[in-house]
Structure 1
Amino acid sequence: MTERVLDRIMERAEEITALGPVNERLGRLDDEAAKVLRDSGMIRMLQPKAHGGLETHPREFAEAVMAIAAKDGSTGWVAGIVGVHPWEMALADPKVQEEIWGEDQDTWIASPYAPMGVARPVDGGYVFNGRWQFSSGTDHCDWIFLGGMLGDRDGNVAQPPTGLHLILPRSDYEIVEGSWEVAGLKGTGSKDIIVKDAFVPDYRAIEFGKVIDGSAVAASGHTNPLYHLPFSCAFPLGITSAVIGMAEGALALGLAYQRERTQITGTKVKDDPYMLTAISEAAEEIATSRSRFLDNACQMYDKVAAGKQITFGERAAGRRVQVRAAWRAAHATTEIVMRSGGNALRLDNPIQRVWRDVHMGLAHAIHVPGPVYHVSALTDLDIEPPLGPLRAMI
């Protein structure tokens, strides 16, 4: 089944590429681009089998995202972001899983997870308010995960802070049109979301700390190692893999463009040893990003499959791999584009769009290097990192 997903993607690769400029003009995925993802089974790769999902290996999911992103960054980004959400939904109450997938197993779920809302406790659940940015693919989704903080009875953030992921149907939130005016990944339609006094039943809330510490998956009863991966490994699966896939697409476009190109000096690129060296180095940087990222996911999967726990230090080291892979791939993309001359930056040349998309993807919070590198170095030194923001993305 997994092979068929990738086969279906590659069968429609030319269509994905052709729809890239259309997605960018629309400011969201074109309906046909979304249909390609639905038809391929891409969004069901991490979905539970009980609800028509495939429960594939994380490596296979990441490779599928890379393949799509290499053809169009926005389509790959939505495939990765929306494709990860069924992984967490598998940890949610069976009642909400049935609400979402009971009638249509191809129902999509949006996010963001950033805790930008406050959930005030009331009888049977919460009254929820907030505004969020960056809800990728949201126009094609009928449900959403939204991050929030547990509030007190007055609507203030309760102490000590408790993070929640709350699950809402499309009728309970507003998508803010015109809120996604950006330089890259325009086709993702990552618009703002507003929630005003929405009632969220208890069973549609997940305590984020229980996702992080593994108690949520223990309560779910899932035995597939896929669902026992740390959140900090599973969440970036679709994000970092999309950036690496875009870089692979940039390399393919760059090679095609440079093959017959003659520089202003009259020297053909194929005869310029400096250009060839730069192209070769960029290719190897992208290949290294891919292999390190995939190996990290496989190593964690193998460890949980053997019944072992992933330590905090291993999670920190894994996040370092992810962050460095994204930055390495982005730097290589810049090298490819800057070596392609001024004509590569003309708007009718797809290389410049890939360059913009890669750097927009690099700007995601999951790729901020400072805290991750800080914490991973401390753990390498056998020093316990302090509680607080340093640990937030690990």
Structure 2
Amino acid sequence: MAGNGRKTSPSPTGQDANERAYAAMIDRAKALIPQLRERAARTEELRRLPPETERDLHDAGLFRIVQPKRVGGYELDYVALVDCADVIGQADASVAWNFANLASHHWMLGMFDKRAQDLVWNKDVNALIASSFIFPAGRARKVDGGYVLRGSWPFSSGVDSSEWNMLASVVSSDDEADGIEYRIFLLNKCDYKILDTWNATGLRGTGSNDVEVKDAFVAEAMTLAVSDLDGGPTPGSAVNPNPLYALPVFSLFPYVLSGVALGNAQACLDDYVDIARHRASTYNRAKIGDLQSTQIKIAEASAKIDAARLIMRSTCIGAMADARRGHVPDITEKTRSRRDGAYSVNLCTEAVSLLFSASGARGLFTSGVLQRQFRDAHAINSHIAFNFDAAGTNYGRVALGLPSENLTL
């Protein structure tokens, strides 16, 4: 793995071609690090991906790592999302965030009805798809042939670069006895309005703007029920039989983005170690690297990052193994995945905060990368998927025999 001196092993697929494709994607991601680092300030200034960065990711094939092979994608194991985001995050967390988000939507589209897949990919296999999976933000009602959707969704990362958007909504019913249905709606950009709202402290370059929909008709085939994403065959399995497209989506949701926190923390550690090797204290000229406190903080931060990487990768590799043998995790296993996803990112945030504090006043300068890594770490951690209070509470409820409060699991 770039930054820590160890090589990341590919997901065990038993297929040489897949392993070579996996290694190639990691190498291509690593090759982008220098230019992405150089563009980081401009990315923040633009508040979205620069066109040349988006082009670099396309040219490297990185957006298509979990896209079905039948349309030319690489169909790599799920852990590739963590590993590639880890590498890109060592350059710029905003770029890694958009990469992971947009790449994961090719994976999710592979679970939709073939008609939805064909409508998108027959026109452009490289088409980018944004999302906002905030169900209460929308309201949909069933009509003949589909649904009518309206709402206003925040945090649609990469939306300005995208031709399509996956928007989550509650489906309303005249009969309360029908209960609540959660559904995902795939809309073309002509059916929604982008609101320029993204002025944020961290992840400034993700362009995570709001989108607004006013009574758009969405055909039935362009929607997907959350209940179809529990694990096991999906509507897309008829044309995409790889177990990758039978994973339980929302229990693994944190791992779409957790690699971003991992890469950001690894870069922070690597940069801190490099500075500590050469820097002398402003006040007494003592070498920073000779201080025991510096050595201990490096050890603690690296242990947190290494532990986070093990948690993230083992969860994703285990999920693929389960899917291959046809095992659908129960609610205890699903809440454990959500717990571990939040916990591992929290470890990364703690590591960055520890190093930022150890850097003293020099870490405050906007000319350095540490302040951006600190801001990005806390912006990542603010995502609901990484809120350990929420994930931990739900895990504890299920462990105690109480019903899960997460209705998407």
TM-score (norm 2): 0.90
Are 2:9 and 1:6 aligned?
no
After superposition, what is the alpha-carbon deviation per residue over 1:224-280, rounded to whole angstroms, capped at 9, x for unaligned? 121222113442222111111111111112112222112223321111011111111
- Distance, in Å, in 2 between the alignment partners of 1:266 and 1:393 is 56
Q: CA 1:158–1:123 in 2, change beyond 3 Å: closer, same or farther?
A: farther
Where does residue 327 of structure 2 map in the other structure?
Answer: 308
- In structure 2, the CA distance between the partners of 1:273 and 1:393, relative to structure 1 (3 Å rule), is farther
Residue 132 in structure 1 maps to residue 132 in structure 2? no
Aligned-residue offset at 1:86: 1.2
Deviation at 1:81, TM superposition (A): 1.0
> What is the Cα deviation at residue 301 of structure 1?
1.2
> Residue 32 of structure 1 aligns with which residue?
52
Q: Which residue is equivalent to 1:289?
A: 308
- Say if 2:98 and 2:158, in contact at 8 Å, map to a contact too: yes
Other structure's SS at 1:255 match: helix
| Range moving further from structure 2, 201-210 or 227-236 | 227-236
- The Cα offsets for residues 91-142 of structure 1, whole Å up to 9 and x where unpaired, read as 1111111111112211110001111111122221111110010011111110
Structure 1 counterpart of 2:276, from 252, 258, 263: 258
Equivalent-residue separation in structure 1 for 2:58 and 2:276 (angstroms): 35
Query: What's 1:247 paired with?
Result: 265
The partner residue of 1:92 within 101, 104, 112 is 112
Corresponding residue of 2:345? 326
Q: Deviations over 1:65-99 (max 9, x none)?
A: 11001110100000111111111111111111111
Find the residue that maps to 2:155 and give its secondary structure.
strand
Map of 1:338 onto structure 2: 357
The alignment's C-alpha RMSD in Å is: 1.8
* Deviation at residue 221 of structure 1 after TM alignment: 5.4
Pair 1:216 & 2:234 matched: yes
1:353 to 364, 372, 379: 372
Corresponding pairs, count: 387
Question: Counterparts in 2 of 1:1-394, with a 5 A limit?
Answer: 1-115=21-135, 116-152=137-173, 159-177=178-196, 179-212=197-230, 214=232, 216=234, 220=238, 222-263=240-281, 264-380=283-399, 383-387=400-404, 390-392=405-407, 394=409
Aligned partners of 1:157, 1:241: CA distance in 2, in Å? 40
AA matched with 2:208: S
Q: Is this contact kept in 2: 1:164–1:207, CA < 8 A?
A: yes
Conservation of the 8 A alpha-carbon contact between 1:84 and 1:234: no
Is the 1:118–1:157 Cα contact (8 Å) retained in structure 2? Answer: no
Q: What do the CA deviations read for 1:346-382 (whole angstroms, capped 9, x no partner)?
A: 11111100110111010001111123212323444xx
Distance verdict in 2 for CA 1:75–1:265, change over 3 Å: same
Post-superposition offset of 1:162: 0.5
1:42 CA drift (Å): 1.2
Alpha-carbon distance in structure 2 between the residues aligned to 1:157 and 1:344: 55
How far did 1:159 drift?
4.8
Aligned partners of 2:22 and 2:80 also within 8 Å: yes
Stretch deviating more after TM superposition (370-379 or 336-345):
370-379
- Matched residue SS, 1:259: helix
Moved more, 6-15 or 21-30: 6-15
Give the partner amino acid of 1:117.
G
Residues 269-318 of structure 1: CA deviation (Å, up to 9, x unaligned)? 11101111111110111111011110111112112212222121111112
Q: Call closer, same or farther: CA 1:252–1:104 in 2, change over 3 Å.
A: same
- Of 331-340 and 113-122, more deviation after overlay is shown by 113-122
Task: Find the aligned partners of 1:375 and 1:278 in 2 and give their Cα distance.
Answer: 32
- Secondary structure of the corresponding residue to residue 138 of structure 2: strand
Identity rate of aligned residues, in percent? 27
Q: Secondary structure at the match of 2:258?
A: helix
Question: Displacement of 1:217 after TM fit?
Answer: 5.2
Hey, what's the Cα distance between the residues in 1 that align with 2:330 and 2:151? 34
Q: In 1, Cα distance between the equivalents of 2:348 and 2:158?
A: 24
Asked if the contact 1:77–1:238 (Cα under 8 Å) also holds between the matched residues in 2, the reply is no
Structure 1 unmatched ranges of 5 or more: none
With normalisation by structure 1, the TM-score equals 0.94
Matches of 1:362 and 1:323, distance apart in 2: 8
CA contact 1:136–1:190 (8 Å) conserved in 2 = yes
Q: Which runs of 5+ in 2 are unaligned?
A: 1-20
Shift of 1:33: 0.9
